[in-house]
Amino acid sequence: MIEKLKTIAERYDRIAEDLCNPAITGDQKKFRNLMREHKTLTPIVEKYREYCALQHSITEAREIMESSDEKEFREIAEAEFYTCRDRLAQTEQELKVLLLPRDPNDDRNVILEIRGGAGGEEAALFAADLFRMYSMYAERKGFRTEVLSLNETELGGIKEISASIEGDGAYSRLKFESGVHRVQRVPETESSGRIHTSTVTVAVLPEADEVDIQIDPGDLIIETHRSGGAGGQHVNKTESAIRIIHVPTGTIVDCQDERSQYKNKERALKILRSRVYEQKRNEQAQEIADQRRSQVGTGDRSERIRTYNFQQGRVTDHRIGLTLYKLPQFLEGDMDEMIDTLIASAQAEKLKNGEN
């Protein structure tokens, strides 16, 4: 591990030099990639330097303990020795976690897609609750949320919504949210007080940059049509809505929220790039995923990952067996305890499997 850390530290210093090179700063793509790598390596190098400093302190303390004739100095050195030794063990464990294979998409922005599943209007209403929850969580973390496409019901539910969440590490915090979310509650539309079970599908995609996915315009079918919705003067009067079909993958994106055809097209392409990028990532990772599934699940949309039970005020994540009895706070965006546990569980599983 130490040799690997030395190599990383050397690479880190070389990148720092390259970032000051005019030839590098003039190449936008190369500069951006080096900045990302530098940012990724920074916590590892800082922790490694802390590790080296602790080792040096331990050596110095041991020498004083063995050579000093002053009892007071020996006692101070002994206390320093044991304190640094304990910190060294903790730092070594932290370095093992930092050296785990890192998802290259962790620092990316997110395309969040939520769809009502089984349960009709109640599923649509809960989809709206989930979008509000993620929006409030994003606000707590300092992320920016923008609705890209929205299909609402007359009662204020959401049939389908696509939104971008922009911020440092947005994908790393939200990537385990992909899957089927189940809600158990008495719907507002239910007069007899019976508990209904409904589902909502959540997909979290890393936002793809234009340099990541080059979409050939010749592979696109772009159609215009009139907006549809619950009403309003603008609806169904102008053909500002855009539908884009990516022929090679069969991916279809529909955007109708903006009155401008150009803005709808821009948003549709943003979603399209991320969906195609995610599809390519899944294809590349499929063989590995078939061989070994992580403890927190694959994030496939077919999996029921979480249950929100309103009668008991609890939210349960089935992948890690964690139940929190603070559903109201959770739906207000207080999600860090759940998300931190999911991340820690994934790291523990990687350590268990010896991934380096």
Q: State how far the alpha carbon of 217 is from the alpha carbons of 214, 222, 247, in Å.
A: 9, 10, 10
Cβ neighbours for 356, distance < 8 A, ≥ 6 positions apart: 4, 99, 100, 101
Q: What per-residue confidence (pLDDT) applies to 33?
A: 84
Confidence category of residue 351, pLDDT binned at 50, 70, 90: confident
Determine how many CB atoms are found less than 10 A away from the CB of residue 4.
Answer: 13
Choice between 268 and 200, residue whose per-residue pLDDT is larger: 200
Q: What per-residue confidence (pLDDT) applies to 302?
A: 52
Pairing type for strands 110-116 and 196-206 reads antiparallel
**Residues 234/257, Cβ–Cβ less than 8 Å:** no
Cβ neighbours for 207, distance < 8 A, ≥ 6 positions apart: 108, 109, 110, 111, 164, 166, 171, 270, 273, 274
Class level of CATH domain 2-98? mainly alpha
Structure tokens at 237: 């009067």
Structure tokens at 87: 């910190």
**Residues 338/317, Cβ–Cβ less than 8 Å:** yes
Q: What per-residue confidence (pLDDT) applies to 213?
A: 66
Confidence category of residue 281, pLDDT binned at 50, 70, 90: confident
**Residues 345/293, Cβ–Cβ less than 8 Å:** no
Pick the range with the lowest mean pLDDT from 83-87, 113-117, 296-300: 296-300
**Residues 205/110, Cβ–Cβ less than 8 Å:** yes
**Residues 117/199, Cβ–Cβ less than 8 Å:** yes
Q: Which of 31-45, 85-99, 122-136, 216-230 has the highest mean pLDDT?
A: 122-136
> Please, what sign has the CA dihedral across residues 129, 131, 135, 140?
positive
User: Residues 155-181: what's their mean pLDDT?
Assistant: 91
User: Residues 77-90: what's their mean pLDDT?
Assistant: 92
User: Residues 69-77: what's their mean pLDDT?
Assistant: 87
User: Residues 165-190: what's their mean pLDDT?
Assistant: 89
**Domain limits, the chain:** 2-98, 110-289+298-350
175 DSSP assignment: G
Choice between 255 and 62, residue whose per-residue pLDDT is larger: 62
Q: What per-residue confidence (pLDDT) applies to 280?
A: 77
CA Rg value for the chain: 26
User: Residues 323-341: what's their mean pLDDT?
Assistant: 95
User: Residues 110-127: what's their mean pLDDT?
Assistant: 90
What's the pLDDT tens digit per position in 284-319?
A: 556 444 443 443 344 344 568 999 999 999 999 999
268 CA to centre of own chain: 21
Q: What per-residue confidence (pLDDT) applies to 232?
A: 46
**pLDDT of residue 63 exceeding 80:** yes
CATH code for the structural domain at 110-289+298-350: 3.30.70.1660
Pick the range with the lowest mean pLDDT from 78-87, 199-208, 247-256: 247-256
Percent above pLDDT 90 for the chain: 38
Pick the range with the lowest mean pLDDT from 37-51, 284-298, 318-332: 284-298
Q: State how far the alpha carbon of 202 is from the alpha carbons of 101, 305, 311, 338, in Å.
A: 25, 10, 23, 16
**Strand ranges in the chain using DSSP code E only, listed in sequence order:** 110-116, 144-152, 158-166, 179-185, 196-206, 220-225, 241-246, 251-255, 304-309, 314-317, 322-324
Confidence category of residue 39, pLDDT binned at 50, 70, 90: confident
Q: State how far the alpha carbon of 9 is from the alpha carbons of 24, 40, 43, 49, 134, in Å.
A: 20, 12, 11, 9, 37
DSSP helix/strand/coil, 316: strand
Report the chain's mean pLDDT, rounded to a whole number. Answer: 83
